[in-house]
Amino acid sequence: MMSQLAPSNPTSRYTRPTSQFRSTQFSRQKPGILHLYVGLPCPWAHRTLIVRALKGLEDVVPVSVASPGLDGSWEFRHRDIPDGDRVVPGLDNANGRKTLREVYRLRRGGYNGRSTVLMLWDVERKEVVCNESYDIIELFNSGLNQLAKNPDLDISPPSLKKKIEDWNQIIYPDVNNGVYRCGFAQSQQAYDSVVNELFSTLDMVDDHLGSFRYLCGDVLTLADICLFTTLIRFDLVYNVLFKCTKRKLIEYPNLHAYMRDIYQIPKVAATCNFRAIMDGYYKILFPLNPSSIRPVMPSGYEHEFLSQPHNRASLSSVDENV
C-alpha cells in the first residue's frame, strides 16, 4: 500500500508523480464553463481556492469538493447530521458522478491514469483542462480577468516574475514537497537527508522574513500562497504525522507571523477547513496512522493562534534578491 501511496526511487526517497494535464490558457470567457474539483486536505488544491477567492471568481468557477477514500480514490459525499461525523455518498456538482475517477473517464477517449485532485474541468466539452496546481493559479490570476470581480489584482506581476520563480525553485522541492519527502521516506538515510533540507530552508526563509513582509518584498505573490498552504498545515499535520519534528512552525517567529498575516487577508481564512485537513491526513493515510485516530486540535487554534496580531505591515518594502 505504501508503494502505491508514495512511490519512491531506488534511494527510498519519495518521488511525486508529474501532472498529466497542463494548461495556463483558456479563451472562452463565460461563467460556468470551468468547474474546479478540489480536496480540502490537499495543499495544492488549497492554492487554487485562495486565488479563486482573492480574484473574485467564486461565481465564475463553481467547485465540487471530493473526499479521500481508503483506496486512494476521491469520492463525493455529503454529511447528513449537523456535527458532520457521518457522511453518505453524494454526487459532484457538474456531472452527477460519485467519484472523481468517473469524471476523468468522461473525457473523450476515456482515461485510465491517476485521477487526482485538484482538477479543472471544461463542462461544455467534457474535457480535463488542467490538473497542475500552478498552471491553474496562473490562469485564475490573469487568464479570467474579463470575468473576475477583482481584475486589477495581480499576484504575479511581470516585474516580479523572476523573483517568484526563484522562490518557487526553493519552496517547492524543500518545503511544499519536502514535508511529503519526510513523511513518505522509506529508509532512515532518505529521511535524514530530506528533513535537514526542509529545516535548513525554513531557517533561511524565517531569516528573510525578518526584513521583508512577503517573499518578494511588500507585495503578496503566488509564491507566498504556495508557501502558505504548507505552513497552515505544518503544526497540525506535518510536524506530527510526517515526522517534521525538529521544530514547530510556532517556534519560528517570522514564519508564524507571516502565516497569520496571510490568513488574516479577507477571504483567505474561509478557505481553511481545519477539520477536513486533519481528517484527510490522520484518517486516510493508513500506513502512517494505522489507528486512524485524529488528534485533538489545539484549543483556540483558529482564534487565539491565527487571529493574533502579526505586526508585519511596518516591515521594509525595499526589495531584495533571492
CA distance 63 to 54: 15
Give the sign of the dihedral formed by CA 120, CA 167, CA 50, CA 237: positive
Q: Is 214 a catalytic residue?
A: no
CA distance 99 to 77: 9
The catalytic position among 14, 42, 226, 252 is: 42
CA distance 100 to 35: 13
The grid coordinates listed for 121 are 474541468
CA distance 125 to 130: 13
User: Residue 229 has what DSSP assignment?
Assistant: H
Sheet of 63-68, strand order: 74-75, 63-68, 34-39, 119-122, 127-130
Q: Is 130 a catalytic residue?
A: no
In single-letter form, the type of residue at position 67 comes to S
Give 96's contacts (C-beta < 8 A, 6+ positions apart): none
The catalytic position among 37, 111, 134, 180 is: 180
Task: List the catalytic residues.
Answer: 42, 180
